[in-house]
Every structure is written in structure tokens, then in C-alpha cells.
Amino acid sequence: MKRDKKRRKVFIFVSFLISMVALSLYASALATPGWFEADCIKTDIEGSTCNIHMGLWDGKLEKTQFSSSSDDLKIVCVEGECMWSCGIAKKDREAQFAAVKDGRASDFDTATRCDDSSSVAKFFVKNAFSPLFSAEDILHSVGAKSLPVLEVAKSFNIEEDIRAGTDETAEPTDPTDISTVTSMVQEHPEFMDQGLWLATIVCLCFAMLWAIVGALFAVINTATTPVEWITGVGGLYVWNILAVIFNVICVSCWAAQFHLHLVSNVLLYDSDANWTTEGMEKFGYSYWLVVVAIFIHIANIIIIYTGTYEPKKKQQLEAPDTKAGNIMLY
């Protein structure tokens, strides 16, 4: 009996450790920018690529276009719709949202109102395609007149070819090469759903809460033997089952968000510049951490059951002793 009691407490303590593992997964998922990942390209200039890592709160956009640059992104929500914005302050993000919503994303001054680096390379990337500058001014501003600008003529009506040291017979870029999907996104930007975004966060927080409660009661059950069912082993089942339920709702909400709103083009403020993520989106590692946590809680339930299950012993009825002479005759 004493041995069984010790074994029971060992299994419950293991349950505590597993709850802490699940809790660490939740904290990592909530804090890291890995819920959504995508590669992206600039459809009118070959070799221009970028990479996006987005979280529930913020993210990062890294571009490679003549040189490397990056934008720090944050979520902005207005009237039930959300997008990732590069604006520095809240008012900048809201202004960028309004510009994208009204179909004038290019009117937003990303060079001065976005959270980016101040390097010369970044200046070129932000301004090389701005109609406020001629190609010669831009090259002079970065001190690289021989920089091989392959194409700016189409977007900004620059007639001359800026390819230094090459022959003049180079073929112009075919306007039909620009993605049709990009044009559609510019006209009808697909914003995130604020309800699904909030539901994802709320359910993840509740899953964390039940993991904490489960861990605390596992410690209590290791040290003592509670009398009430909800504070004892029965409660350990309840907390883990609740964590699984909220986990499933969380990943379902984000999966719905992904398939309904994130599979076209998330670069809404850069869509006018022909940047697109179409067909290159995927779930990030933060999302999969929550999926793993579901199976951890299921494993925890199995461990609790294995360590605390006690089969009921059948009570055997003793036959009356006829030799004792205590049988009454009628």
C-alpha cells in the first residue's frame, strides 16, 4: 500500500514537469514572431526577394533588392480588420492602414514613417523607385553612379536605359510579366480578421492559464492527498482537458485566418511596388509549438491515469459457518 502511494506521487510529479513544458511552449508561441512565414518576390524585377516572419504582435520583413534591408512590423487593427504595418508610431500604422484601404498605399511615406534602418543601402531601397527622384539623383545620393539599376523606366516614366557598360539592345521588361494576382490585391486588399486574431490570442492565454492551474494542483497532490475530487486527481484531468480544448480552438482560429486571409498577399503596403507573397506562405514554428502542446497535454492525461488508476477489488461474500451452530431453523 505504501509502495503504491509513493508510485502515485511520482507520476503526479511527472505530470507537474510536463505541465511546465507545455507552459514554456505557450510562452514561446505567444512571444515569438513565427506564426506566419513567407518568401516574397518583386514581380517586375528579377532577383528581388524578401522573407517575412510574423507573430501575433509583431514581425520582420527582410528584403534583398540591390542590397539587404529590413522593416520591423507591428499589428494594426481598425474596425474589425488588421494588417502588419511598418509604421513607427500607432498613428503612422493607422495612417498606413487607411492608405492601403483606400487604394493609395504608395502615398504613404515609408522612408520617414516606417521602422527601418538608416543605412545608405536602406535609403536606396526605399527611394530608388520613388517618383520624387530621378535615377541620376538617386545614384548620386548613394555615391554609386555605376550601380546596375536594371529597371525603373516602366514605373516612373524614365525613358533612358540606366545599365552602364551594356549594349543598347537590351530587351525591355514585358508589362504582362507582372502577376495578375498582384493587381487584384492592389484593388481589393485582403486584411486579417480581427475577431479570429483576438480569438487566437485569448484561447492561447486560457490554455496557458489551465496549464498553470494543472501544474499548481500537481504540486499540491504530490505533497498531500486532497479530500475534494476537483482539487485531487479528478481536477488534474479537468485542467488538462480544458487546456486541450482551448488549444484546439486556438490552432483552428489561426488555421482559418491563414486559409481565408493570408494566402494571397500579406505585403499590402508594398503591393503597389509589385511585391507579393502569393503561393509562398506557410505556418511558422510558433504555430506548431501550440500544436505540439496539444499532444503534450494528452500525454499528461495518460500519465496521470497510469499512475493513479486503482482497479476496484471485488468483495467476496463469506459463506455462513454451519459448524458454528448458529443457523436458525424454521
Q: Encode pLDDT of 95-131 as tens digits.
A: 989 988 888 877 888 777 786 543 444 444 444 444 4
Instruction: Look at residue 315 and tell me if it is in a domain.
Output: no
CA torsion 96→98→104→109, rounded to 10°? -20
Spatial distance between the Cα atoms of 297 and 294, rounded to a whole number of angstroms: 5
Residue 321 within a domain: no
Q: Is 39 helix (H, G, I), strand (E, B) or coil?
A: strand
Q: For 190-216, how does the pLDDT look when each residue is reduced to its tens digit (9 = 90+)?
A: 799 999 999 999 999 999 999 999 999
Residue with more model confidence, 90 or 129: 90
pTM: 0.72
Q: How far apart are CA 18 and CA 295, in angstroms?
A: 11
Report helix, strand or coil for 194: helix
- Count structural domains, the chain: 2
The answer to the question of residue 233 being in a domain is yes
Start-end of H helices in 32-116: 90-101, 110-113
Better-scored residue on pLDDT, 65 or 30: 30
CATH number at residue 227: 1.20.120
CA 318 to each of CA 33, 55, 315, 322, 329: distance values in angstroms, whole numbers, following the listed order: 69, 68, 9, 12, 20
Between CA 258 and CA 265 the distance in angstroms is: 11
Contact 119, 142 (CB under 8 A): no
pLDDT reading at 230 higher than 60: yes
Which run of H or E residues covers position 303?
helix 285-308
Residue 157: pLDDT over 60: no
User: How far apart are the C-alpha atoms of 112 and 109, rounded to whole Å?
Assistant: 6
Same domain flag for 112 and 171: yes
Least confident of 27-36, 183-192, 308-317: 183-192
Residue in 138, 197, 178, 164 with CA at minimum distance from that of residue 278: 178
Residue 211 inside a domain? The answer is yes
Clarify whether residues 251 and 154 are in a common domain. Answer: no
pLDDT computed for residue 133 by the predictor: 40
Q: Three cell numbers at 5?
A: 502511494
Q: How far is CA 209 from CA 212, 242, 264, in A?
A: 5, 10, 34
User: Considering all CA atoms of the chain, what is the largest pairwise distance in Å, rounded to the nearest integer?
Assistant: 128
Conformation bin of residue 79: beta by default, left when phi > 0, alpha when psi is -120 to 50: left
Q: Do both 200 and 161 map to the same domain?
A: no
Q: Specify whether 233 is located in the same domain as 285.
A: yes
The C-alpha cell that represents 36 in the structure block: 506566419
Query: For residue 322, is it within any domain?
Result: no
Note whether 61 and 153 are same-domain residues.
yes
Decide if pLDDT at 283 tops 60.
Answer: yes
Scored b (16 or more CB within 10 A) or e, 74-93 reads: bbbbeeebbbbbbbeeeebb
Judge whether 58 lies within some domain.
Answer: yes
Tell me the C-alpha distance between 242 and 327, whole Å.
58
Alpha-carbon gap, residue 43 to 279, rounded angstroms: 13
Convert the pLDDT of each residue in 22-43 to its tens digit.
999 999 999 999 999 999 888 8
152 is in which domain, residue-wise?
41-177
Q: How do residues 295-306 score in pLDDT, each as one tens digit?
A: 999 999 999 999
* Confidence bin at 218 (pLDDT 50/70/90): very high
